Amino acid sequence: MEKAKKRNHIFLFLILSVLFVLFLAPIFIVLMNSFKGQLFISNAPFAFPDAITFSGMDNYVNGVQKINFFNAFGYSLFITVFSVAAIILFTSMTAWYITRVKNPLTSGLYYLFVFSMVVPFQMVMYTMVKVANVLHLDNPVGLVVIYLGFGAGLAVFIFSGFIKSVPVDIEESSIIDGCNPLQTFFLIVFPILRPTAITVAILDTMWIWNDFLLPYLTIGTKYRTIPVAIQYLQGGYGSRDMGALMAMLVLAIIPIVVFYLTCQKHIIKGVLSGAVKG
């Protein structure tokens, strides 16, 4: 029995090790090629940089200058931070209301939020672009509102699942002590929602930071986020600066990887917390 259990552990370890290598290999290849000259990237993409192919920090300097990286970084940071903050604030309040107030309206709202998760973005993107232009949402501030709409479905679903597991007695006690609904939410309910809020923040940050299509369609080239700016390293007739492209991909990956590694322990905790009671 012990030998079989040990063999299973070794087998599982080998499988996870292979998956680990497969998942990290693309990132390592991009990082490795970001220090090689442009011609050598195409000729030997899997070779380590050597005395001949090593280009130092030239790719990073060229990439930053070509796409105005820090300007794009500022737009990406602004849109991501405020979009995630808006999603967490408004969807947590919405989820609390439709979970605690039981009537046909709140039930209908809940199922509308759930239904929004299964509607493909491609079905609504042209209509969305037109509405954004008419309502003057084709700017970084307007894009925050659009991300709030697209991110609300999953966030409300996750928050609602967690709120169902929170005893109503806690909220009733705060009302007896004199709290109004807003005070009850921000002083009692929202601190309890912290693990789930962190989970939603991580998922939405990775989505918004790496999103290309929505910023490209909505705000175009005037306010370039990092994914949109990197795309412009590809010139006409298939020409592209591969060295600068690899370097900018590395710079784009670093912030989100650091953020994920810092907060990833909260994902499982938040998801499991929201999976209690139906």
pLDDT tens, position by position, 100-154: 988 999 999 999 998 888 888 888 888 888 888 899 888 999 999 999 999 999 9
Q: Which two tokens stand for residue 261?
A: 């590694």
- Chain segment 243-261, per-residue pLDDT in tens: 888 999 999 999 988 888 8
- Enumerate residues 6+ apart whose C-beta is below 8 A from 77: none
The two tokens of residue 271 are 């998801």
DSSP string, 20-77: HHHHHHHHHHHHHHTTB-HHHHHH-TTSPP-TTTB-TTHHHHHHHHHHTHHHHHHHHH
Of the pLDDT bands very low, low, confident and very high (cuts 50, 70, 90), residue 56 is confident
pLDDT at 77: 94
Q: How many CB atoms lie within 10 A of CB 82?
A: 18
Domain 66-274 class, CATH top level: mainly alpha
Which uninterrupted H or E stretch holds 123? helix 121-134
Residue identified by tokens 């479905």 is 153
> For 151-201, how does the pLDDT look when each residue is reduced to its tens digit (9 = 90+)?
999 999 999 988 888 888 888 888 888 888 888 889 888 988 888 898 899
Calculate mean pLDDT across residues 228-249: 79
**What is the per-residue pLDDT for 78?**
96
Contact 79, 215 (CB under 8 A): yes
pLDDT of residue 274: 47
Rounded to the nearest 10 degrees, the angle between the axes of helix 265-274 and helix 242-263 is 60
Cα of 99 vs its chain's centroid, Å: 26
Distance, CA of 60 to CA of 53 (rounded, Å): 15
Separation between Cα atoms, residue 9 and residue 161, nearest integer Å: 34
User: For residues 144 and 103, what is the distance between their CA atoms, to the nearest angstrom?
Assistant: 30
Among candidates 220, 24, 71, 23, which has minimal Cα distance to 139? 220
